[in-house]
Amino acid sequence: METILLLAHADAGGALAKPAREALRAARTLNKAIAGSNLFVGLIGENVQAAADSIAACPATRYFGVAGAEFGQSRYCTDAAAAQAIIQAAQATLVVAPATSRWNRVLPGVAQRCGGRIDSHVTGVADADGQPVVNRWYYRQRMEASLTRTQRPWFMLIDPGSQEACECGAGAATVELVPVKLAEAGQRTTVVGIREPKADAQTIRPDAPLLFVTGAGWTKKQADGQAHVEEAGKLIVDFLKLSRASLGSSKSLVDLGGEGQAVLPFLSHLNQIGQTGSTPRHAKGLSTCCHGEEPHTVGWRFIAERRAISLDPNCGWARGKADVLYVADAFAVIAELNKLLG
């Protein structure tokens, strides 16, 4: 009999973030598909009661928790000890967890400690004749595979954005607190604080409905024979502030920094979309000053509605990569858009 455990960490404020609710949806999908399976929830954090209560109306029958100030911080040794303790207390055979940076770092090691196996970047779960199956993409999202395993416990890290978040209502959950001996875990790392960019300097927004892509054209010489990098930077930053879009880039543009050329200071390789970049999942995409070559557009695989602004009517976007191509000067179009949005 399978025991399915949703394993999540609570936020600093005790809430459950959207990726955890998406993983809960995947866990419930397995629970419905596998006859006789149990669905349990395991929570780790400073305060897990509020997180448990926030999903108390879900069909999980037991809630396990490891709580305390030392479990509020993301730290390998405490997270691994807590996860292992919950998995053992729940006797979980299938561990479903959101692929947050915290769990991506910790759960492969926990799978090893528990004698299990783990699959990362899971984008779907299903069953085949009552056996659990996961879906994931290989070779830079070019091939999709479905696979199953006999080894237990089987850990599944669910890619954020790949599932609908469950909307289980709140209630009062009874949390069984699991003790963890930290002396044994060896609390070696002390977290002294968190450094992060200001909220409006954070340009990668996975939850944004729109992906706004900038290409190298923004830094190239324009009709007047001059480059207008400063103006480009202001137009892009204003657009992001007004639209709350997520910022993506072509490789050429983010590479310019390494060549010592004038660049847009808020871009890094983390913004790069494509074969050697990321493959985000926004509902819509707007490309500007980018040629739309295959190594770039392959990163748009999951973007449903695509539009592009380029001066070149023969660019890649015109060759079936975009639904609509505006052959226009992006400087003029974005300036006008900012005016309208403002």
Rounded to a whole number of angstroms, the minimum distance from the CB of residue 315 to ligand FAD is: 5
Chosen residue from 72, 132, 274, 285 binding ligand FAD by CB under 6 A? 274
* Residue 296 binding ligand FAD, by CB under 6 A: yes
Complex with ligand FAD: residue 154 or 331, whichever CB lies closer: 331
Task: Please work out the total of residues on this chain that contact ligand FAD, with binding judged by CB under 6 A.
Answer: 30
Complex with ligand FAD: residue 78 or 271, whichever CB lies closer: 271
* Residue 280 binding ligand FAD, by CB under 6 A: no
* Residue 335 binding ligand FAD, by CB under 6 A: no
Cβ pair 249, 273 in contact under 8 A: yes
Q: Residue 77's CB: how many other CB atoms inside 10 A?
A: 17
User: Length of the chain, please?
Assistant: 342
Complex with ligand FAD: residue 19 or 215, whichever CB lies closer: 215
Complex with ligand FAD: residue 14 or 277, whichever CB lies closer: 277
Round to whole Å and give the CA distance between 124 and 148: 12
* Residue 31 binding ligand FAD, by CB under 6 A: no
* Residue 321 binding ligand FAD, by CB under 6 A: no
Cβ pair 93, 3 in contact under 8 A: yes
Complex with ligand FAD: residue 62 or 269, whichever CB lies closer: 269
Complex with ligand FAD: residue 74 or 279, whichever CB lies closer: 279
Q: What is the largest CA-CA distance in the chain?
A: 71
Cβ pair 37, 125 in contact under 8 A: no
Rounded to a whole number of angstroms, the minimum distance from the CB of residue 284 to ligand FAD is: 18
Round to whole Å and give the CA distance between 321 and 295: 12
Complex with ligand FAD: residue 74 or 252, whichever CB lies closer: 252
* Residue 264 binding ligand FAD, by CB under 6 A: no
Chosen residue from 5, 66, 331, 338 binding ligand FAD by CB under 6 A? 331
* Residue 251 binding ligand FAD, by CB under 6 A: yes
Q: Which stretch, 31-39, 117-125, 199-207, 244-252, contacts ligand FAD (CB under 6 A)? A: 244-252
Three-state SS for 104-145 is HHHHHHHHHHCCCEEEEEEEEEEEECCEEEEEEEECCCCEEE
* Residue 248 binding ligand FAD, by CB under 6 A: no
* Residue 253 binding ligand FAD, by CB under 6 A: yes
Chosen residue from 92, 216, 235, 264 binding ligand FAD by CB under 6 A? 216
Rounded to a whole number of angstroms, the minimum distance from the CB of residue 162 to ligand FAD is: 20
* Residue 157 binding ligand FAD, by CB under 6 A: no
Round to whole Å and give the CA distance between 88 and 176: 13
Complex with ligand FAD: residue 140 or 152, whichever CB lies closer: 140
Q: Which stretch, 59-67, 112-120, 125-133, 273-281, contacts ligand FAD (CB under 6 A)? A: 273-281
- Cα-based angle 209, 331, 324 (whole degrees, multiple of 5): 50
Q: Which amino acid is residue 287, in one-letter code?
A: S
Complex with ligand FAD: residue 134 or 263, whichever CB lies closer: 263
Backbone angles phi, psi at 7, to 5 degrees: -110, 120
Round to whole Å and give the CA distance between 87 and 9: 14
Rounded to a whole number of angstroms, the minimum distance from the CB of residue 329 to ligand FAD is: 4
Q: Which residues bind ligand FAD (CB under 6 A)?
A: 215-217, 220, 222, 250-253, 272-277, 289-291, 293, 295-296, 299, 309-312, 315, 329-331
